[in-house]
A and B are shown apart, each in its own frame.
Chain A
Amino acid sequence: MDSDAELLCRVGHDRDAFEQFYVRHVGRVRAFAARRCANAGDVADAVSATFLTVIDAAEGYDARRGRASAWLLGIAAHEIAALYRGEAREQATVRRIAGRRLLQSDDIARLEAQIDAERLAPQVSAALARAPKAERELLMLVAYDGLTPSEAARVLGITAVAARVRLARARRRLAAAQPLSSGPPASTEPKEQA
């Protein structure tokens, strides 16, 4: 099986390479978009815009600078930001593939369910909402998308050192806003004396 780096060398002009890369990563990009988009149409647009950009930009991928999955999520983050600035949808229309036009009713139901499933626990959401935007996105990339701090730094266009500093600050902020764990919060009731 070809590595991601080997596939990316060819995806711009080779159907088989693109198909393999797409099948391997589309679920991850969809989940990434579902965590950040408000509705199924936006998720679809974000996924289509991301892979369209992959076709254009794959030749520029440099394996020495990190994993292909981190590079891919960096593109997805950029496209989602552009989507909410109103640019990506126009680009997609220009390039004739507006993702939402490909949606059918069962797709919408499935993507809406995924958006709900990816929604963070209310306590975490509230704590993140209070954090500065830069810290919030960094924490999402590391904690939920599985990137290393260095990879997340590249996605956000900041240095690895800055990422680590922000991450430490974000963790302290979240720790202060307990509970952070996904398990049930610790009981605060007084224990009975034996």
Chain B
Amino acid sequence: MSPSSLPGFERRLLDDLLEVVDERRAAADQAQAVPVQRQGSRWQRRLRHRWGLVLALVAVISGGTAVATTVWIPQLGNDHAGRPSMATGALPSELVESLAVLRRQQQDADRGPRVREALQRLPGTEFSNVHIQSARMLQTWPGGASILLVAEHAGATGRGPLCLVVSSDYGQRNRTRVRAPSTGQRCGTVEDLRAGRLAVGAVIGGRLTFNALVPDGVARVEIPQRRGRPPLVAEVRNNAVHFEAATGGVDLAAIRWLDEHGLPVEVTP
């Protein structure tokens, strides 16, 4: 039997599962890449540093009306997984119109160590044209943070440019106990954003950790709890939501987006 001869559900499931395999491989490549990059020779590091500086200056100069004015020199990608290029054009307007966090100035926290590390983990084989001035630190919590990166995908992957990245100390310390291999990154289009698909979840140490990127207009997220308990409510900050809950205690399929008045915000499937 070939994949094309599978019935409908089984074929669609195969497509989704193959995406998980791809993400798992990319995560493994990235995890393997960082130590290799650190072992680079001094002249390699200097070369990267110079190119990074030149490209950052080009971005600022050519950006004209670009939001950011601070020059920073992030390293994109790594020696192992390749280096994505730096975007010099403006962000697509639909992204800026959908996410207030992209309309504000880039701040120091948006250029911090966790964001830099996330940029180093973007494989050049998968990404191109990274908008470094659009990198945003969304939320932080003890042992982790959520980050927004905007980058085009190399090749015809069909994935969108908005990437929600979750940086977790726990995953680095004890990788085998992170249940979801794709934890760390979810990329999609504006349509994915509006459909609630830009979410990353994992069961870590027996607790569910959930992060999602939400469009403008969503002020809080209501998460129903099981066993008759009242729903959890997580406040949205920087277009992002983060919550932790007991495994098996919440119904993620029934999450509701609420506006500032507590009214439901429509999710476009």
Q: Which residues of A contact B (CB under 8 A)?
A: 11-15, 18-19, 22-24, 26, 30, 44, 47-48, 51-52, 55-56, 85-87, 89-91, 93-99, 102-104, 106-107, 110-111
27 contacts between A and B (CB under 8 A): A13-B25, A18-B21, A23-B1, A23-B6, A23-B14, A26-B6, A26-B13, A30-B10, A44-B9, A47-B13, A51-B17, A55-B20, A55-B21, A56-B179, A86-B226, A89-B253, A91-B179, A93-B252, A94-B210, A94-B252, A95-B20, A96-B16, A102-B9, A102-B13, A102-B16, A110-B7, A111-B9
Instruction: Specify which of A15, A48, A93, A97 lies most central, judged by the most chain B CB atoms within 10 Å of its CB.
Output: A93
Q: How far is the CA of A86 from the CA of B226 in the complex (A)?
A: 9
Query: Which residue of the partner chain B has the closest CB to A88?
Result: B248
Q: How far is the CA of A106 from the CA of B10 in the complex (A)?
A: 12
Q: What sequence of 0s and 1s flags, for each residue 16-39 of chain B, a beta carbon within 8 Å of any chain A beta carbon?
A: 111011101100100000000000
Q: How far is the CA of A20 from the CA of B49 in the complex (A)?
A: 44
Q: Say yes or no: A15-B21 contact (C-beta < 8 A), given A90-B250, A93-B253, A102-B16.
A: yes
Q: When the two chains form their complex, are residues B201 and A107 in contact, meaning their CB atoms are under 8 A apart?
A: no
Q: What sequence of 0s and 1s flags, for each residue 167-204 of chain B, a beta carbon within 8 Å of any chain A beta carbon?
A: 00000000000011110001000000000010101110
Q: When the two chains form their complex, are residues B13 and A48 in contact, meaning their CB atoms are under 8 A apart?
A: yes
Interface residue total, chain B, C-beta cutoff 8 A: 39
Q: How far is the CA of A51 from the CA of B18 in the complex (A)?
A: 10
Query: Which residue of the partner chain B has the closest CB to A102?
Result: B12
Which 4 pairs of residues, A with B, have the shortest CB-CB distance?
A94-B201, A107-B9, A93-B252, A13-B25
Residues from chain B with a CB closer than 8 A to the CB of A30 are: 10
Q: When the two chains form their complex, are residues B1 and A97 in contact, meaning their CB atoms are under 8 A apart?
A: no
Contact of A91 among B1, B181, B199, B203 (CB under 8 A): B203
Q: How far is the CA of A97 from the CA of B18 in the complex (A)?
A: 11
Q: How far is the CA of A96 from the CA of B253 in the complex (A)?
A: 10
- Give the number of residue pairs across the A-B interface with Cβ within 8 Å: 106
Q: When the two chains form their complex, are residues B17 and A87 in contact, meaning their CB atoms are under 8 A apart?
A: no
Contact of A19 among B12, B18, B201 (CB under 8 A): B18
Q: When the two chains form their complex, are residues B7 and A18 in contact, meaning their CB atoms are under 8 A apart?
A: no
Residues from chain B with a CB closer than 8 A to the CB of A110 are: 7, 9
Q: How far is the CA of A106 from the CA of B28 in the complex (A)?
A: 38
Q: When the two chains form their complex, are residues B247 and A12 in contact, meaning their CB atoms are under 8 A apart?
A: no
Q: When the two chains form their complex, are residues B22 and A104 in contact, meaning their CB atoms are under 8 A apart?
A: no
Residues from chain B with a CB closer than 8 A to the CB of A85 are: 248
Q: How far is the CA of A102 from the CA of B208 in the complex (A)?
A: 24
B8 on the A face (CB < 8 A): yes
Q: When the two chains form their complex, are residues A97 and B10 in contact, meaning their CB atoms are under 8 A apart?
A: no
In whole Å, how far is B221's beta carbon from the nearest beta carbon of chain A? Answer: 14
B251 on the A face (CB < 8 A): yes
Residues from chain A with a CB closer than 8 A to the CB of B268 are: none
Residues from chain B with a CB closer than 8 A to the CB of A12 are: 21, 24-25, 181
Q: How far is the CA of A55 from the CA of B181 in the complex (A)?
A: 9
Interface hits, B146-186 → A, CB 8 Å: 179-182, 186
Q: When the two chains form their complex, are residues B17 and A23 in contact, meaning their CB atoms are under 8 A apart?
A: no
Residues from chain B with a CB closer than 8 A to the CB of A44 are: 9, 13
